[in-house]
Amino acid sequence: MEIIKSIISNVLTALYEPFGFALILTVLFLFVCMYAREHGWKEIVKKWINCFRTNREFRIVFFLIFYTAMILFRTLLNRNLWENPLSDVIGIWGLYDKDGKMTTEAIENLVLFIPFSIFLLWSRWEKGKRQQISCKTVVAKSGSIVFLFSLTIEFAQLFFRLGTFQLSDLFYNTLGGVIGGVLFYVGIKCFNRMISK
């Protein structure tokens, strides 16, 4: 009887874990197929390549979506089921876990959202026709957006049992977003100085 339970459990887990990714991929692929039926595959590939080469905003949005997908794979879509997603709500706040082993989880969570906030702010700045921005506005925007995105991921991990809900993850992700915002602001200031000379 234990073998049958194990087989059923393994089969259901194998179907459940890739379900979210498979659903997203299927929906997106069907959108592409519908568009290709109307315009032809060759035409849409040429149009996509041309748009990528000539449209700066398209390239930035491409990198933003690509990096967001990588974050979702790391945090949600490519995870094993957890028995108790509330087993470590406080999380790891330093370089050592509760057993005294060195861990890089805090650094990974911090670094993970730096490029995300840079791509996000860059895409919004491009769309806003490169308007002047203040450091306070950039930090507030990047911090709040990354906080909400990270909170959504943490609750999704809790709801779908794909990881543990951790306050430390939320803090370090948000801090990474703020650092990314500061780096973006410094980059914009340097860019504006270079083009004004």
Write out pLDDT tens, residues 59-85: 999 999 999 988 888 887 777 666 666
Q: Looking at residue 23, what is its pLDDT?
A: 83
- Rg of the chain (C-alpha set): 21
Q: What is the mean pLDDT of residues 135-156?
A: 91
3-state secondary structure of 102: strand
Q: Looking at residue 6, what is its pLDDT?
A: 75
Amino acid code (one letter) for 68: T
Residue 179's Cβ-count burial label (10 Å; 0-12, 13-18, 19+) is buried
Residues 6+ apart with CB under 8 A from 150: 113, 169, 170, 173, 174, 177
DSSP secondary structure letters along 45-57: HHHHHHHHHH-HH
102 strand-pairing partners: 96
Which of the four pLDDT bands, split at 50, 70 and 90, describes residue 197?
low
More confident: 19 or 38: 38
Q: What is the mean pLDDT of residues 154-175?
A: 86
Other beta carbons less than 10 A from residue 8's beta carbon: 10
Q: What is the mean pLDDT of residues 182-186?
A: 93
Q: Looking at residue 14, what is its pLDDT?
A: 66
Strands (E), the chain: none
Q: Which residue has the tokens 């990474």?
A: 176
Amino acid code (one letter) for 116: F
Amino acid code (one letter) for 150: S
